[in-house]
Structure 1
Amino acid sequence: MPKVFGNTTLVVSQRHNRTYSAKSVTQFLNDIGFADGVEPYRARIWPLGEVLPEPGMPVTCLVGTGVDTMESLVFGDGGFDAGPVKVVYGDDDGTVNLASLMGPIKAWSDSPAQVL
């Protein structure tokens, strides 16, 4: 979801000498050997992340912090099949990272029609 994560590095591949963000998912899909997933991603998944529509009813967002939560993965020279050589953690809720938790708040906070 590029609107939420922007250019934040989510995956690093030392083998491919690349970093991947939400804006480079198609390159990531190609590099992991899943070129067949590029067009479905572009056609179906990308549009879902471009707009986070307001639900039109009051929403309460509970956001937790203080628990290590995975934020990015680093893959070594062995590639993606070898698994990550490093996991980078952030201060989040233990399940969902803070950028995801804050996504709806950022998207809807300026809307006079949406009560948060």
Structure 2
Amino acid sequence: MTEPPMHSSDDIVLLHYKLAEDGSGDPLRAQDLIDFFVATNRSPKCPCCPHEGAWDFSLQTVEGEGEGEGSKNLPLSIYVHVMIDGQRHTTAGMTCPKCGHFAQISTYKIREFQASRGK
């Protein structure tokens, strides 16, 4: 029996979208996640408590972007998950403000959505 070939995250592409952010493109921002949620009808309900509404996004702090009009559209913090076989997947995260439940969204799905809108 032949073993399947090992691949790195750089080799794995779903519908032409890499599973892992590599820093080569524009950073994903809060508004990108909001646009994705609106377009996909993502429910604002928490699966762990009665909260239904806004969630706290995990955002990067960027010098010079913390004040004024652009302060609400900061880059998303990107979480890197390394699988046992070495594949890398990246996600954006958000926290329920009531119970602290932490949910993640695969960044490739946000990129796929952006590409469908010509971004």
TM-score under structure 2 length normalisation: 0.24
TM-score under structure 1 length normalisation: 0.24
